[in-house]
């Protein structure tokens, strides 16, 4: 299972580019970063946390149990009620809207 060092390293690499949050949703990248092996997930890495790198992990109801077992520490597991890259994504940030969001392909 990946440890938090990967999230820290990725956050450190993204920060100099002004990225506040990084979206990771592709299978291999998601597995490398979080340990999750399911086919539906999105990690939102909070780059601004710096040494406390972690963030939100979204998946649908089918993968909640699997994600709870597989996720590395530091991830806030949440159930997605809609499309992962849909309009509801912005609602996750509430009043803390990010100016710069990066997406790993």
User: Could you tell me the CATH superfamily of domain 4-104?
Assistant: Creatinase/prolidase N-terminal domain (3.40.350.10)
| Domain spans of the chain, in order of start | 4-104
* Helix (H) or strand (E) segment spanning residue 102: strand 101-104
Whether 14 shows a pLDDT value over 60: the answer reads yes
Q: Which two tokens stand for residue 66?
A: 């699997």
Q: What's the pTM?
A: 0.79
Residues 6+ apart with CB under 8 A from 76: 54, 55, 56, 57
pLDDT digits (tens, 9 = 90+) for 40-59: 999 988 887 765 667 889 99
- 11 alpha-carbon distance from chain centroid: 11
Select from 39, 74, 70, 44 the least CA-distant residue to 57.
44
pLDDT digits (tens, 9 = 90+) for 47-105: 877 656 678 899 989 999 999 999 988 888 988 866 555 556 666 665 555 565 666 65
């Amino acid at each position: 299972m990946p440890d938090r060092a990967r999230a820290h390293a990725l956050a450190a690499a993204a920060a100099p580019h002004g990225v506040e949050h990084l979206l990771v949703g592709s299978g291999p990248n998601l597995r490398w970063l979080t340990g999750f092996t399911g086919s539906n997930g999105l990690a939102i890495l909070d780059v601004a946390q710096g040494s406390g790198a972690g963030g939100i992990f979204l998946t649908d109801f089918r993968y909640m149990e699997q994600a709870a077992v597989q996720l590395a520490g530091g991830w806030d597991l949440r159930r997605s009620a809609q499309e992962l890259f849909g309009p509801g994504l912005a609602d996750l940030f509430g009043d803390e809207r990010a100016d710069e969001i990066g997406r790993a392909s």
